[in-house]
Amino acid sequence: MAQIFTIFGATGTQGGSIMEAVLKSPTLSQKYKLRGVTRDASKIPSKALGEGGVEMVEADLNDPDSVIKAAQGSALIFGVTDFHASGSASVEAAQGRAIADAASKANAFLIWSTLPSIVEISGGILTKAALYEGKASVDKYIKSLGIPSVSFVPASYMDLFKSSAFWGPTKASLCF
């Protein structure tokens, strides 16, 4: 019998890529029954996945009970959060902890999409990379739970390094 592989962010870039890879693989598609988690299962991308045999469920990452419900019965979970939806490292960290808690309750193996702590890497010099810090704090939380897991660390777009969101506000001056 196929095991349930629950993918948070099923219609997004990361989750959607995993969904597609599993569906196209004869081996993986036999091993796993896919469950896609989305905010709104009535949208076209969710419906298309559902028509392709994916069980689509709704969950709000800000509602831990809905996250736990979405993960029930899973053997494997892919977790990803969207910093840009809230712009807050603390909100994103709470969402990531909800996914980790759901994986723990389901006794599932968790694949967590993360980024390293820029504060730690820079020795505290760079402190404005909230996009990284929320995800990195979830890494520590997952380790504290002692659940079976692996961290997936995708590359960052180099454009981020020139934005003020990464480095913090800068003082500008004009030269004539």
Q: What is the pLDDT of residue 164?
A: 56
* pLDDT tens per residue across span 80-125: 999 989 989 999 999 999 999 999 999 999 999 999 999 999 999 9
pLDDT: is 1 or 157 the higher one?
1
Sign of torsion, CA 7 9 11 16? negative
Higher pLDDT, 165 or 16: 16
pLDDT tier, 44 (very low <50, low <70, confident <90, very high otherwise)? very high
Report the distance separating Cα 101 and Cα 18, nearest Å.
Answer: 22
37 or 159: which carries more pLDDT confidence?
A: 37
pLDDT at residue 116, as a whole number: 94
Cα 72 to Cα 24, 69, 137, 175: the distances in Å are 25, 5, 24, 61
> Which pTM does this prediction carry?
0.88
Looking at the predicted structure, is the pLDDT value of residue 76 above 70? yes
Number of residues in the chain:
176
C-alpha–C-alpha distance, residues 45 and 2, integer Å: 24
Q: What does the pLDDT read at residue 176?
A: 43
E strand or H helix that includes residue 109: strand 109-113
**How far is 90 from 134, CA to CA, in rounded Å?**
6
Rounded Cα gap, residues 66 and 62, in angstroms: 9
pLDDT of 98: 99
The model's pLDDT over 121-173, given as tens digits with 9 standing for 90+, comes to 999 998 888 989 999 999 999 999 999 999 999 876 666 666 655 555 555 55
Helix (H, G, I), strand (E, B) or coil at 56: strand
- Looking at CATH, the fold of the domain delimited by 3-167 is given as Rossmann fold (3.40.50)
Which pLDDT score, from 0 to 100, does residue 80 have?
A: 97
pLDDT at residue 49 is higher than 50? yes
Q: What token pair was written down for 145?
A: 């739970």
